[in-house]
Chains A and B, each alone.
Chain A
């Protein structure tokens, strides 16, 4: 007599379906659709172990060399460290072959705070120099790094033309702050950078699709076919 209950294969499919549904609703969809800032590049990351103060006196200028400006770098972000009085006005200059942008960060902000200067990005990415000049009357201390984990980024730093050890921590942001799903094509282009010829954006897209659809399908198929073949 046939059992009134569905077959074990149906139960397995039910278990997998329920599990994947819960994962999608509780985890994947919120993660992929959440708005997050779009980092366009990080010439020097924040310190890993201990923060370092890079002091800029009135009229001083700190420059980072070998900085890559991408075609979506619209915001330069620095960090001013704690000080007793509000900090001075800063000028930010981004410069590369065929590209120059100047932006002002007005004084009066109360450190510690993230300082953001808006620039127009280059039409094509360039490698150049990013300078920060103190245009105010007071000294300012910017967040920098000397620790072995983070100071090894490519950019080199000079203050008033003299090479110094701490590098100022800087990152570039794009004005776009959508979800990763909305920016998927940009992320794929980034992942395809520095890859051998065959493994360009088309290949990365193929991998993304295989992971998102092929992997779950093949895993579920393996299980269901094993129940079918087990009888």
Chain B
């Protein structure tokens, strides 16, 4: 490198210049977005420090995965291993803060006495180095691909002092950073679709004030990276449909899809969404065949590379050599009956018709339980619930939103026709995930009918679509009525966020 170039580079890296540039860049962030990022940061930090360790959904196993990968470079096994579900260090921390019996049990409280803390510190000081690295499995999330856990290994190693709880809380904050990135991507999505600043703010606030998402962002759980992957994918998809399929955008769509499949088995649904995007983009832009093929090869190639990495990685650690621990491969093995599947899906959303058999699995578990109750509430390990009246109101609001969307579509048919690529992309992307969730849930219930394997958390990657729907309805209202509704919706989001945190605080510490 030429000396002049070295000098230029050195000047570019000076801390003062970097700070000045960062401040200048921060000033370009719109005020509503900055405020919403502050809202999201407060909320996620509060969840991270109010919710005792390992009380997030399956957090016990997810942290064990992060720790084992960070300490040894290997993922824990799903079914094999030496019998240690987690490391001896994690086991001792759980023991002295009494955290295992706390999971999902409302009558339990965590340890909080000074005596327990003192004893834990003595125990921690006496643990050998290998106590952090011996949780080799079985681990119930061992079939998951490694992307999220590899990312979380960074804050795990950055924790100062080496104390177990330092590492644990910094790992939670790693998830929080992913959550904040998802909120920022929602702003970008809204900026693509809505011209008025207030509409962008409302769409982003719908995501930033969703209490279940904030709780998930504060938990160590791969689902939060799935949310970010899907939010980024929807943003890139909208860019492609609105501005054309450039190489960079196709690369972005492929990367988001690869991130999704490298995060969780449920992330595989994004392949369907990617195919839909490519199809709609082709119809919308009609590129030359060579360009179309190049774009498709680029995005599908990267997504395929992600899948290949998943295959190589998981074939060595779990599931007897099958991808995602065999979950996906098992679809269709166990007396899979399409009529029974359709009947289950019908009864999930609508009342049973006279000629139908009772649905497979848990009766009375459907739309309300998944799309309302556990989508907005049921925090920690599902035991921290909103009062019934709140769930009822949210249910009514959800149904009203569907009717309002239908009305807007009918009354603005021209706009719908004009924007068909965007609407089709959003609807089919949502459908892609929902279809996979129903098929895997049905498949799982063939073996274990007691576990519906479908909870509201699984729908959070589609939250940007809900936010777009809410905003589209409010934008269609007369201006002042829309403003009043915006205020009401933001107030409802604040109320839900505060009460979710408050109920959790009382449940754990009162």
Contacts and interface: CB of A to CB of B under 8 A. Distances in A.
Contact of B163 (A23, A31, A196): A196
Contact of A223 (B38, B201, B387): B201
Given A13-B487, A220-B490, A221-B35, A226 B200 contact: yes
A192 to B, nearest CB: 8
A15 interface: yes
Contacts of A68: 98, 111, 113, 115-116
A202 interface: no
Given A149-B105, A218-B39, A23 B509 contact: no
Contacts of B101: 44-45, 149-153
Given A8-B480, A36-B510, A153-B108, 15 more contacts: A11-B487, A15-B483, A39-B510, A41-B111, A42-B109, A69-B113, A150-B108, A154-B98, A194-B53, A194-B110, A196-B161, A204-B49, A204-B50, A211-B498, A215-B39
Nearest to B50: A191
A125 interface: yes
Taking chain A's interface residues, is the majority helix, strand, or loop, or is none over half, making it mixed?
Answer: helix
Contacts of A152: 100-101
Given A191-B509, A229-B31, A8 B161 contact: no
Find the residue from B97, B104, B105 having the highest chain A CB count within 10 A.
B105
Interface string B98-135: 10110111011111111111011000000000000000
Given A41-B109, A210-B42, A214-B38, A195 B49 contact: yes
How many of chain B's residues touch chain A, expressed as a range?
35 or more
14 contacts: A14-B484, A16-B487, A17-B487, A20-B495, A41-B113, A69-B115, A190-B509, A194-B116, A194-B165, A219-B35, A219-B493, A221-B31, A222-B31, A223-B32
Contacts of B97: 193-194
A10 to B, nearest CB: 8
A187 B505 CA distance: 8
B480 A42 contact: no
B91 to A, nearest CB: 11
A106 interface: no
A213 to B, nearest CB: 10
B166 interface: yes
Contacts of B489: 15
A219 B111 contact: no
A23 B115 CA distance: 40
Contacts of A199: 49, 169
Closest 9 CB pairs of A and B: A15-B487, A19-B491, A222-B35, A8-B483, A125-B113, A226-B201, A23-B495, A16-B487, A193-B112
Contact of A196 (B109, B169, B387, B484): B169
Q: Pick from A36, A38, A152, A219 the residue with the most CB of B within 10 Å.
A: A219
B508 A191 contact: yes
B472 interface: no
Contacts of B53: 194
Nearest to B482: A8
B197 interface: yes
Given A196-B166, A222-B35, A18 B198 contact: no
A16 B49 contact: no
Interface string B136-151: 0000000000000000
A103 B100 CA distance: 30
B70 to A, nearest CB: 17
B259 to A, nearest CB: 28
B165 A42 contact: no
B309 interface: no
Contacts of B120: 194
B30 interface: yes
